[in-house]
Amino acid sequence: MRPTARTEVHDPDGTRYGIPTYQWRAAPDGLATRRQLRAAGLRPGGQEPAAQVMRLRRRGRAPLVGHLYAIERAKPVRPMTPGRWRAIEAALLARRTCPDCGRVADYCIPTSLGMCVPCAYPTVTAPSEGERL
Ligand SMILES: [Zn+2]
């Protein structure tokens, strides 16, 4: 049966289509298309579509259907390897390295400052190691 009215593509219980169906762009949170998962570095991971979005087209043309997958059941696109961990650690280290003085802070450099706190506020001197009692 071909849906003829806009409301007919709203079937959150799946009584008409077998799986929960929503209007295009009206899917609830927690669901994503394969393409959206991929953008987040995820893949469906073997799960069946949990729902679908449907957009009607002009008369006589089949509706556009996009399958939606549960994000919480998605898996990373690639398993973590030592190389990938190193890449992530390097990226995190870069975020903690001050571009001004080159010191590695124990926090991520705030993007609002663009440098470490001592560089951003040179008049506020933190106690150095020797001053600590
Ligand atoms: Zn600095």
The 10s digit of each residue's pLDDT in 68-125 is 999 989 988 877 788 877 887 888 888 889 989 999 988 888 888 888 888 888 876 6
Residue 131 Cα to ligand 1 middle (Å): 20
Residue 103 Cα to ligand 1 middle (Å): 6
On the question of pLDDT at 51 being above 80, the answer is yes
Output the pLDDT for position 21.
Answer: 94
Residue 24 Cα to ligand 1 middle (Å): 48
63: phi then psi, degrees, rounded to nearest 5: -65, 150
Name the band, by pLDDT with cuts 50, 70 and 90, for residue 129: low
Residue 93 Cα to ligand 1 middle (Å): 14
Which residues fall inside 5 Å of ion ligand 1, going by CB?
98, 100-101, 115-116, 119
Residue 121 Cα to ligand 1 middle (Å): 10
Question: For residue 104, what are its two tokens?
Answer: 């590695």
Output the pLDDT for position 19.
Answer: 94
Output the pLDDT for position 7.
Answer: 66
Higher pLDDT, 14 or 83: 14
- Contacts with 107 (C-beta within 8 Å, 6 or more apart), sequence order: 96
Output the pLDDT for position 4.
Answer: 52
Output the pLDDT for position 52.
Answer: 94
Residue 101 Cα to ligand 1 middle (Å): 4
How much is the average pLDDT of 14-21? 92
| Angle (CA) 10 15 16, round 5° | 65
